[in-house]
A and B are shown apart, each in its own frame.
Chain A
Amino acid sequence: EPEVTQTPSHQVTQMGQEVILRCVPISNHLYFYWYRQILGQKVEFLVSFYNNEISEKSEIFDDQFSVERPDGSNFTLKIRSTKLEDSAMYFCASSVEKGNEQFFGPGTRLTVL
């Protein structure tokens, strides 16, 4: 069964460093999403992406964040200068069409020291 994959599973970085989290959505899916979950809190929406552009973003998704689909398979989330409060689990998701069921990847645990 096709699934969303994410790499790495765990990333440790120093405050101020740039990180890139990678996702491979399900191959025939057209909509891509990033969500995050700070430890002990609920999952929060960051951004959605369609047709090579951001279709929606939350107030969390400020200028420190960017997303890209650099090739036909990868979907990346970049945090330019990480802060302690960026420590969280980051989930990628994809869906066939807008409004369809979203399928989640296993997550990347980001730890900022």
Chain B
Amino acid sequence: KNEVEQSPQNLTAQEGEFITINCSYSVGISALHWLQQHPGGGIVSLFMLSSGKKKHGRLIATINIQEKHSSLHITASHPRDSAVYICAVRSIYGATNKLIFGTGTLLAVQP
């Protein structure tokens, strides 16, 4: 069983729609990251959070530590938001610094 699960795996939206991508994890964590990967392959860090909520532009990330769940929201989606969105966590066990990645959510925003 994957330690980090994302849903949905694929998402198609119309421009302007509100989008939610979910991430559930099974390990205790010290932090959760949301990352964006474009078709060229490069990875961009969007958020790192350990509690509550963060907002950057049209992106909002929330986390519920008790429920081991995080969501990434995109408001007023645009075709340029089309990418793979990846959730990754850092475990609290063993003084580790490595990230454990989910399989990603492929988002396509159509004009």
A25-52 interface mask toward B, CB cutoff 8 Å, 1 = contact, 0 = none?
Answer: 0000001010101000111110010000
B35 touches A104 (CB 8 A): yes
B45-59 interface mask toward A, CB cutoff 8 Å, 1 = contact, 0 = none?
Answer: 100100000000000
What chain B residues lie within 8 Å of A31 (beta carbons)? 97
A43 touches B43 (CB 8 A): yes
What chain B residues lie within 8 Å of A95 (beta carbons)? 97
Interface size class of A (residues with CB under 8 A): 20 to 34
Secondary structure at the B interface, as helix, strand, loop or mixed, is: strand
B42 touches A104 (CB 8 A): yes
What chain B residues lie within 8 Å of A33 (beta carbons)? 97-98
B48 touches A98 (CB 8 A): no
Report the Cα distance A37→B99, complex, angstroms: 13
What chain A residues lie within 8 Å of B96 (beta carbons)? 56
